[in-house]
Amino acid sequence: MADSKPVFSPACPIPYVFQPAERIQQLKDYLQTEWGQIQRVNAEALIRMYESGELGPRQMGDPHVYLLDGKRVDKTLFEDKAMSANSLKWIEGIYQGMTQGRGIQAII
């Protein structure tokens, strides 16, 4: 028995999954805020993507979705310093924060 090692289960055995209907409602609620009005073009684009099925359920580890002025772009264009400083940017993805152990839905 001295050779046996403890066996641990995963810290998060059931990963959280954002369902499209849940995320659509979050985005619609977000549109009612002042910041939501500023990001309206991106939030509405995301709502359309979820409603059309272009984006499905999302969970930790899924590739991020980059939006620039309401259009889906790849990461290189999103990070391009030559883009206008007035462009509205949004990253849709799930991030794990090392705070109180909660996953954080990132909206930038």
pTM score above 0.85: no
State mean pLDDT over 23-29: 95
Q: Tell me how long the chain is.
A: 108
DSSP, collapsed to helix, strand or coil, labels residue 14 as coil
pLDDT at 101: 47
Burial grade of 103 (CB within 10 A; 0-12, 13-18, 19 or more)? middle
Burial grade of 3 (CB within 10 A; 0-12, 13-18, 19 or more)? exposed
- Would you list the domain boundaries of the chain? 18-106
**Residue 104, strand partner residues:** 95
pLDDT-wise least confident of 4-13, 33-42, 46-55, 91-100 = 91-100
Give tens-digit pLDDT for 38-95.
Answer: 999 999 999 999 999 999 999 888 999 999 999 999 888 878 877 777 889 899 988 7
DSSP, collapsed to helix, strand or coil, labels residue 85 as coil
Question: 27 CB contacts (<8 Å, ≥6 apart)?
Answer: 43, 46, 47, 50
In this structure, what DSSP letter does residue 83 have?
A: S
Q: In which band, very low, low, confident or very high, does the pLDDT at 13 lie, cut at 50, 70 and 90?
A: low
